[in-house]
């Protein structure tokens, strides 16, 4: 028999998680179901939020972070995060067609095919990057700092991807179109 996870309400989580629920509601108008579910553990939710907020000061700006999140979520097969981050990416200025191309690894502008290949290699090879991709990354003008920040973004998104795949809670964002 399958376990069914219930999305907890504000009153069903620890006071430390309730404070984060209040912050999210004030900042975004709601507590996304996945964040609420992570909130079963105030430690998990608050650690995750601190990690997200710290990475906002990293090498990749908001639009770039959303592109990375879409690529990771596509490769990890997370419908929830694809829905959430397609909406976010479009708020940051990506078009729907661009989000689909990013997810497919066919986006032709800038460094995105290279970043797609690196992310794919990290995910498929448990952290190792295939071939000369690292050399290409550095030749493109990136440095070790950007590589570590990219690894953090992959880690952040993999956590939420796996949390969704574990819980299969209801998706509370418009569904992302499938990649053809």
The token duo for 41 is 């553990």
Does residue 1 have a pLDDT over 60? no
Find the angle CA(97)-CA(102)-CA(106) to the nearest 5 degrees.
90
Does residue 166 have a pLDDT over 70? yes
Portions of the chain given CATH number 1.20.1290.10: 62-167
Give pLDDT, residue 23.
96
Interval 51-93: pLDDT, tens = 999 999 999 999 999 999 999 999 999 999 999 999 999 999 9
Percent share of the chain, pLDDT over 90 = 92
Measured CA to CA, the distance from residue 168 to residue 177 in angstroms comes to 19
Give pLDDT, residue 130.
77
62-167 CATH choice from 3.10.20.90, 1.10.620.20, 1.20.1290.10, 2.40.180.10: 1.20.1290.10
Residue 110 pLDDT class (50, 70, 90 cuts): confident
Mean pLDDT score across all residues of the chain:
95
The token duo for 31 is 């507590």
The answer to whether the predicted template modeling score (pTM) of the entire model surpasses 0.75 is yes
Interval 125-159: pLDDT, tens = 999 997 799 999 999 999 999 999 999 999 999 99
Query: Quick one: CA torsion of 159, 165, 169, 172, rounded to 10 degrees?
Result: 70
Does residue 3 have a pLDDT over 90? no
Place of tokens 């975004």: 28
Contact 160, 78 (CB under 8 A): yes
Does residue 11 have a pLDDT over 80? yes
């Amino acid at each position: 028999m399958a376990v069914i996870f219930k999305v907890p309400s504000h009153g069903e989580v620890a006071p430390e998680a309730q404070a984060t629920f209040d912050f999210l509601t004030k900042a975004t108008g709601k507590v996304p179901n996945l964040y609420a579910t992570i909130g079963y553990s105030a430690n998990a939710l608050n650690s995750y939020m601190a990690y997200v907020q710290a990475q906002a000061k990293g090498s990749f700006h908001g639009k770039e972070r959303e592109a990375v999140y879409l690529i990771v979520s596509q490769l990890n097969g997370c419908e929830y995060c694809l829905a959430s981050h397609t909406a976010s990416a479009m708020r940051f200025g990506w078009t729907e067609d661009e989000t689909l191309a990013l997810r497919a690894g066919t986006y032709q502008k800038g460094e995105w095919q290279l970043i797609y290949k690196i992310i794919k290699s990290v995910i498929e090879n448990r952290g190792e990057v295939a071939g000369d991709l690292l050399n290409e990354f550095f030749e493109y003008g990136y440095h070790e700092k950007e590589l570590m920040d990219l690894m953090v973004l992959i880690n952040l998104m993999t956590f939420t991807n796996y949390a969704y795949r574990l819980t299969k809670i209801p998706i509370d964002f418009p569904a992302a179109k499938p990649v053809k």
